[in-house]
Amino acid sequence: MKYTESRYGPWALVTGANSGIGAAFAENLASQGYNIAVVGRRADAVQAKADHLAEVYSVDTQTVVVDPSAPDFLTQLIEQTKSLEIGLLVSNAGDDAMGALLRVELPELKRMLRLNTQTHLELIHHFGRLFEQRGSGGILIVSSTAGLQGTPFVGNYAGTKSYLLNIGMALNYEMRGTGVDVTVVLPGPTKTPGLIEKPAIPLHSLPAPKMSPEAVAKIGLRALAKNKPFVIAGVLNRMVANMGVLLGKVRARNLWGAVMKGIVPTKLRLR
């Protein structure tokens, strides 16, 4: 499926675009001819990804080096992208802090809360208004299957991802008839640096197949093209989500608690 400029416009902005799922979105969209605004915190990684996209796909790129968790994030981003005709927002940047809630330091939990909620809210609100005025645009929000229930040992993370799912689904309804598509994609375990490079908790040992970031990006963009309110990435993840519905929220929580407890080090538990 082609995502042409006539659908959303010549530029796509992707947060967290230098690695993982964000990088896969940037690659997919660049292969369709989109110019890419590469947003990230590390200047060297952002520049390397922008250079790669320009060389491989012959598209224009713009590096946007900002810390998405900073209070003035949106102001900085607007200043660096004001000359671009952005028609597609991929709101992807996020982080987690693993362990029982009381075993994670409060400043880290607050930083993650801002990054995983307020940053997305600011982006969605800013670009949503621009797209509404223009009468076209696309907003793709990256949530997680962890947000489908209270998931022990990632409770703060699960709460933020539930927020993204609910705000995105509500916005999809509110934007009907405006020409703006809104979709939330919920990946499960995915082969990203966040899954592999977490030495404190061996997330890679979760007893579930891991999807590729490229597969997640493809599924998310297909759902956006159909303006689906949300999509769970992967057949197995959809089956697990449906099983959670049948079990109910408490039993689903207990199931995931048992799974997570099996990989969380003792020092990051309460008992």
Taking only the tens place, the pLDDT of each residue in 82-91 is 999 999 999 9
The CA distance from 158 to 150, in Å, is: 6
> What does the buried/exposed string (b/e) look like for 199-226 if buried means 16 or more CB atoms within 10 Å of the residue's CB?
eebebeebeeebbebbbbbbbbbebbbe
| Chain centre distance of CA 247 | 27
Residues counted in the chain: 271
Mean pLDDT over residues 158-164, rounded? 97
What domains lie within the chain, and their CATH numbers? 8-268 (3.40.50.720)
Taking only the tens place, the pLDDT of each residue in 55-73 is 999 999 999 999 999 999 9
Q: What is the pLDDT of residue 271?
A: 82
